[in-house]
Structure 1
Amino acid sequence: MKMSEKMSLDKIIAKINKKFGEGSICRADDFPKISRIRSGSILLDMALGGGVPVGRIGELFGEESAGKTWTALLIAKQFTDAGIKTVFLDAEGGLDISLLNTFNIKKDMFEIVRAESGEDYLEIALQLLESSEPALIIVDSIPAIVPMYEVEEDFSKIKVSGNSGLMSKFMRLLANSLNSQSKNPAEGFVGSTIILINQLRDKIGVMYGDPYGTPGGRAVKHFSTWRASVRRSEWLHENEDKKKNRVGQRITAKVVKNKTFPPYRDATYTIKFPPESSLVDEVDEIVVACTSLGILEMKGSWIWYGEEKIGHGMTNSIEEIRKKPELIEELREKVYLRIY
């Protein structure tokens, strides 16, 4: 091509988009903003930056019984309520269907996958991304993604890197599929969302620093948009004085990575076991959030909202606000306006 025949950059971009698909190159002012769906906990939303980023990969990791799956189901409740189906890859085989009732999740919006091998689970996940409808895909859990050769071979031939190698390839293909899915989104379509549940492993020989690591290799960490360490802060008891009959747990999530919001934000939220409501106490969270953001102000032992005296102490103020649905809605919206 002669110098005089060279095209402008805009024409080249138009040519590229025609060849590779509209949206392959997109101006920054046309690039879609990050869409979020609330997690079910206002405090967790504050830590994440306003809710769970849609069309992105997230990871929840922690020790056993820390609240990872419960947190994932809390998020699933919000997605299904928003009309987005959840597909739960139950590689651990530990999902209790009664939990769907506990979280009041619509069963016709919740699909459960059971497969024979890790390759099957991951292939199913990738095929789901070919849909024209967005979905929430939960993988429970990364260590349970077992390569077929491990299933078929005896213990003497097991390779330590089997799971990591499989996850490394999966994460590359997953990122590619999500990019393709959201390259030129139709109106109202922003792509599927992935939540990976992971466990902790002891680092052998580590004397200093964090003694724990997570399975799946470094690819999981690199490709995840956000990662949250989940731990149980304390048990809740029916009788706190005698510490009898556990009725729930207080969960602390620390967002250790976030490409959409400043990281290292903590959230402590409460989930109660059946027959109690398993969902978080929203009014309690609203008061905590509003106090930390300065929307509600503590003056002495009283809590004020502007010129209005709400109540004496945190507990009384929570109960007073609970009686006022319009105030609850007003405070909720003010919280999200601050954190978006």
Structure 2
Amino acid sequence: ALDPQYAKALGVDIDNLVISQPDTGEQALEIAEALVRSGAIDVIVVDSVAALVPKAEIEGEMGDSHVGLQARLMSQALRKLTGSINKSKCIAIFINQLREKVGIMFGNPETTPGGRALKFYASVRMDIRKIDTIKQGEEMIGNRVRVKVVKNKVSPPFKQAEFDIMYNEGISREGNVVDVGVKENIVQKSGAWFSYGDIRLG
């Protein structure tokens, strides 16, 4: 679901935003490819890969086995989509979700739906996750988020950053300034408090 007011607060140009809600995964990826080829779109966001359900699964019965269907769909679509993106000036952003692999005793139990194709074709992959909740008294007002670059074909990978996302506001610019201040020893941090010289910042 899209909240236009929140999107606008985050800097999204609502007047030039095109929203499509396809019925199947195939339809979604065909629309994405057509928009890339049109040259009329600068950025395409697919939200989310986990929700791209193949037509056969939608039309099938509950309990039917559909092993590998989504992975095959992504592999076929990305071969076409990558070629179109290379010829255009469009950026495609795929949002995905983390799943836990059942029965994994060693190694990372986390995986992402959609098979390996997206990991292979992606120029940049980022792991974004909440690491803390920001509170004002008892009220939750935002989240502390960590972003780690796990793949990067255009610059050095494995860098990471932390920042605050405030509810109904987006990324906190003030929080970023304070973080830089702490890093450069301009702002002092003591427990949950920050101070600049004799001034307590909160």
Sort the TM-score into its range (normalised by shorter chain).
0.7 to 0.9
1:180 aligns with 2:87: yes
1:222 aligns with 2:120: yes
Q: Which has the higher helix share?
A: 1
| 1:316 CA displacement | 4.2
Q: Partner of 2:176 in structure 1?
A: 285
| 1:172 CA displacement | 1.0
Q: Partner of 2:68 in structure 1?
A: 161
Find the aligned partners of 1:193 and 1:258 in 2 and give their Cα distance: 15
Find the aligned partners of 1:220 and 1:106 in 2 and give their Cα distance: 27
| 1:265 CA displacement | 1.0
1:201 aligns with 2:109: no
Task: Give secondary structure in 1 for the equivalent of 2:103.
Answer: coil
Distance change in 2, residues 1:284/1:100 (3 Å): closer
**1:258 is aligned with what amino acid?**
N
**1:159 is aligned with what amino acid?**
H
Find the aligned partners of 2:165 and 2:79 in 1 and give their Cα distance: 34
TM-align CA RMSD: 2.2
Task: Give secondary structure in 2 for the equivalent of 1:119.
Answer: helix
| 1:279 CA displacement | 3.1
Distance change in 2, residues 1:284/1:201 (3 Å): closer
CA-to-aligned-CA distance 1:135-162 (integer Å, 9 cap, x gap): 1111110011111111111124341211
Q: Partner of 2:145 in structure 1?
A: 251
Find the aligned partners of 2:10 and 2:175 in 1 and give their Cα distance: 18
Q: Partner of 1:99 in structure 2?
A: 6
- Structure 2 gaps of 5+ residues are none
Find the aligned partners of 2:136 and 2:33 in 1 and give their Cα distance: 44
Find the aligned partners of 1:153 and 1:136 in 2 and give their Cα distance: 33
| 1:119 CA displacement | 0.8
Name the larger-Rg structure.
1
Q: Select the structure with the greater relative contact order (CA < 8 A; seq sep ≥ 6).
A: 1
Find the aligned partners of 2:98 and 2:146 in 1 and give their Cα distance: 16
Q: Partner of 1:35 in structure 2?
A: none
Match of 2:57 among 137, 140, 150: 150
TM-score by length of 2: 0.86
| 1:115 CA displacement | 1.1
| 1:290 CA displacement | 7.0
Q: Partner of 1:260 in structure 2?
A: 154
Between Structure 1 and Structure 2, how many residues are aligned? 194
Q: Partner of 1:323 in structure 2?
A: none
1:271 aligns with 2:169: no
| 1:218 CA displacement | 0.6
| 1:132 CA displacement | 2.9
TM-score by length of 1: 0.53
CA-to-aligned-CA distance 1:5-30 (integer Å, 9 cap, x gap): xxxxxxxxxxxxxxxxxxxxxxxxxx
CA-to-aligned-CA distance 1:298-329 (integer Å, 9 cap, x gap): 3xxxx3xxxxxxxx6364449x9xxxxxxxxx
CA-to-aligned-CA distance 1:183-222 (integer Å, 9 cap, x gap): xxxxxxxx11111111111112211110111111110100
Q: Which has the higher strand share?
A: 2
**2:96 is aligned with what amino acid?**
N
Find the aligned partners of 1:142 and 1:236 in 2 and give their Cα distance: 29
Q: Partner of 1:192 in structure 2?
A: 90
Q: Partner of 1:237 in structure 2?
A: 135
| 1:288 CA displacement | 3.4
Find the aligned partners of 2:38 and 2:47 in 1 and give their Cα distance: 21
Task: Give secondary structure in 1 for the equivalent of 2:37.
Answer: coil
